[in-house]
A and B are shown apart, each in its own frame.
Chain A
């Protein structure tokens, strides 16, 4: 588990690893998260910047690197448990 992934004094990077609720759209190009709820707050996804996958055994994990005007987030979706997680976030300084 990476403890520190990022070094930039004026950017706030935080590892979260918590479950979230997500509203996603299924376009012909593929599925994309549109909004997610973390705690009691809703966060709008303005852009999906990158989607990449990893395998943990036979489970495939989809990572969505998304952002809005001030913050970038990494969300994950696990194919076996069908659960969404907020992995990390980075606030621009």
Chain B
């Protein structure tokens, strides 16, 4: 098998004889077909998962890392965590979440690099731009995964497989030859993701109603998304040992044992389309940032500046998304030096604001107040998180501003509007001159290494896609 080419599993794929590329710029979408005789809509969903993504990007950038066991860490520190491992490292037992020390002991010749979020985001932008040329409905599921709704764009799964093989070739040629992906194609989102997990790296699996039983027969219960060790024990207590048995189990039994979740699990395994590909991401329920603080930062008195940086970053994101928060939550983890280990004390404080806001001054002041409510200023702090939630709209009501002690001879705008204007001015300065161009006074003393840029779980902020003009996509009736 050539590098970059994947075996096509599931229904045998007869690739079309002609080598005609799919049309770009004048795409015509066929009307989707629906089998009215059954309740299964004949959708065509694909899931594309980049294999060992962060490590593969590092190996793409530096060819001397290719073929070596590689761990990508958040911090190059003996207790730093491995957040991604290369395919070679995974084969030798390196797992995400291992400490660098443990990984080095397991694989003495492993290489470790510090992660670079901007590089991964930029590479993802290029890859996802290729996806957006295939269909107008792409869900950016995470930094290295996407769902594509191909319904109506391709005649059947075989044609879709051929098109996605071309996409894989384009990633290889246009972005990097070391970047590999696994693809799953199925009538539902859930089964498409299941399909992409079957063969890694560089797999291509098509799941159809005809071959679903055969595929499920070869899988384990914990291979199913949503089933972990605890859920497995509960399912096995019902006498169900395999995903195939789960598919054919009476739905009433599953609902009796697990409620709504039992129904959803049964429906997903039986080709019911219970979740669509989401093109527009839903509004978040909260926005926040967290950071594991090195002991040195705590000793050097940088806790308040670090909290300020975290709160200001989150406040800026609120303004970018036009969200206003009514609640501020601060979580603090303390060091238990007596135990000689990092013990996270679960101290959480929250503050309900009188008015929904997104200005940095109010939010930072509230966060710092919550910190002082639970921290004596001496105990070593090892973890900080700030979250803004309970989104709403400002009431717009006039208020007496008791903090405004301006003399009566001159009109001064209320404090709330001044801090809003100041926050937006700070945003404009940062947009123009960079994040380090201006900072709040409380942030003084923070270093560039404190609370650095990170890619959150399933976050695709900062991924920018160059897509075709949507006017080029026209829908025509298949008949």
Query: Do they bind each other?
Result: yes
The interface of chain A, by Cβ under 8 A from chain B, is: 1-8, 11, 29, 47, 49-50, 52-54, 56-59, 63, 65, 67, 72, 74, 90, 92
B118 within 8 A of A: yes
Taking a contact as CB atoms closer than 8 A, the residue among A50, A57, A90 that contacts B60 in the complex is A50
B123 & A56 in contact (Cβ 8 Å cutoff): no
Beyond A47-B63, A58-B433, 15 additional pairs, beta carbon < 8 A: A1-B448, A4-B114, A5-B113, A6-B112, A7-B76, A7-B100, A11-B111, A50-B57, A50-B176, A52-B119, A57-B432, A57-B433, A57-B435, A67-B62, A67-B64
B337 at the interface (CB under 8 A from A): no
Main secondary structure of the interface of A (DSSP, over half): strand
| Contact between A50 and B449, CB atoms less than 8 A apart | no
Q: Once bound together, how far apart are the Cα atoms of A57 and B429, in whole Å?
A: 8
Question: A79 CA to B69 CA in the complex, in Å?
Answer: 36
If A52-B118, A57-B437 touch, does A4 touch B76 (CB 8 Å cutoff)?
A: yes
Summarize B's interface: helix, strand, loop or mixed: helix
Assess the A65–B431 pair: CB atoms within 8 A: no
**Cα–Cα distance between A35 and B63 once the two chains are bound (Å):** 18
- A92 partner residues in chain B, CB cutoff 8 A: 64
B63 touches A53 (CB 8 A): no
Residues of A within 8 A of B175 (CB): 50
Which A residues are in CB contact (< 8 Å) with B112? 6-8
Contact of B63 among A2, A59, A67 (CB under 8 A): A67
Could you say which residues of chain B place their CB within 8 Å of the CB of A8?
111-112
Q: Does B472 contact A (CB under 8 A)?
A: no
A2's closest neighbor in chain B, by CB?
B114
Pair count A-B, CB < 8 A: 72
Contact B431 A58 (CB under 8 A): yes
Q: Does B226 lie at the interface of the complex (its beta carbon under 8 Å from any beta carbon of A)?
A: no
Which of A54, A56, A63, A65 contacts B62, CB < 8 Å? A65
* Shortest 4 CB-CB contacts between residues of A and residues of B: A52-B122, A65-B61, A57-B434, A92-B64
| A5 with B122: CB separation less than 8 A | no
Q: 28 pairs across A/B with beta carbons < 8 Å?
A: A1-B449, A3-B449, A5-B76, A5-B113, A5-B114, A6-B111, A7-B111, A8-B112, A11-B111, A29-B174, A49-B60, A49-B61, A50-B123, A52-B118, A52-B122, A52-B123, A54-B118, A57-B434, A58-B431, A58-B432, A58-B433, A59-B434, A65-B62, A67-B63, A67-B64, A72-B62, A72-B63, A74-B61
